[in-house]
Structures are given as structure tokens and as C-alpha cells.
Amino acid sequence: MRLLNLKNLKTRFAPHAAQPRDSSADSQIYRLTVIAQSSELNNLVDLFVTELATAAVVPRDIRHEENERTHRIKIVATVACTPAQRAALVRFVHQAGILPGVRGVKWESVPPTESIVLH
């Protein structure tokens, strides 16, 4: 799985987002997984930035893999957010799910023992 250019993405988050809040005690780590047609990569990244940056949620990690045979991508993003910020995740999942080239969207909380590995 290839790492998306997180530095460029964080620069795109900068105008909207405050400092990441993933170190606060009430944060939860979430993993977002999207499977879509390869042509949707830029639309999904734009949507991700728009929805999460407005809630000051900055990704910890974003990776993608592409299956050239099927022309599909799998994007996996890890974010930390407070319960109040979680509404941005809900909006992203809903908006991504209605894009025509998206085949599946899943979000899940990451257990504390697994999130230690993600740092």
C-alpha cells in the first residue's frame, strides 16, 4: 500500500484546521476505508479535506493501493477525533458513499492496543 503525500494533504488542511487534537484524552482513533474506481481518487481526497478540515480533524495516515486490472483503488485513512469532531467523519462517510464511482465505505474505531502501533 502506498502512502499518499501526507505533507501536501496537511498543507491543504492548514487553512481550515487548528492543531491536531489526537493527543487529548477523549480522542478516539478511527480507520476509514473506501473502495472506488481509480478515477475517483482526487474527488475522494478533495471531499476528505473539505469535510474533515472544517472540524479541525487532521489525518494521521492516508494510504492507497490501486488494482490496475480492475481500475479500483482502496484508500485507508487513520484519524483521531473527539466525539464532537466525529460528525465530520459521519459526513465524509455519507458523502463518499453517494459518489457514483464509490463501491464501498467503511469506518471503524481502532482499539487502543492497535492505535499504539499506528503512532
* 52-111 tens-digit pLDDT: 888 988 888 888 899 999 999 999 999 999 999 999 999 999 999 999 999 999 999 998
- The residue type of 90 is V
How far is CA 63 from its chain centroid?
A: 9
The count of residues in the chain is 119
Q: Decide if pLDDT at 22 tops 50.
A: no
Give me the pLDDT at residue 110, please: 92
State which residues form the domain around 45.
Answer: 2-118
Query: Does pLDDT of 118 surpass 80?
Result: no
105 or 12: which leads in pLDDT? 105
Q: Which residues pair with 106 in a beta bridge?
A: 33
Residue 78: which residues within 8 A CB-CB, separation 6 or more? 29, 30, 31, 32, 59, 60, 61, 62, 110, 118
Q: Is the pLDDT of residue 3 over 80?
A: no
> Which pLDDT score is estimated for 75?
92
pLDDT band per the 50, 70, 90 thresholds, residue 12:
low
Rounded to 10 degrees, the C-alpha dihedral 13/29/26/19 comes to -20
**Residue 81: CATH number of its domain:** 3.30.70.260
Comparison of pLDDT for 2 and 54, the residue scoring more: 54
Mean pLDDT of 31-44: 93
pLDDT at residue 116 tops 80: no
User: Domain total for the chain?
Assistant: 1
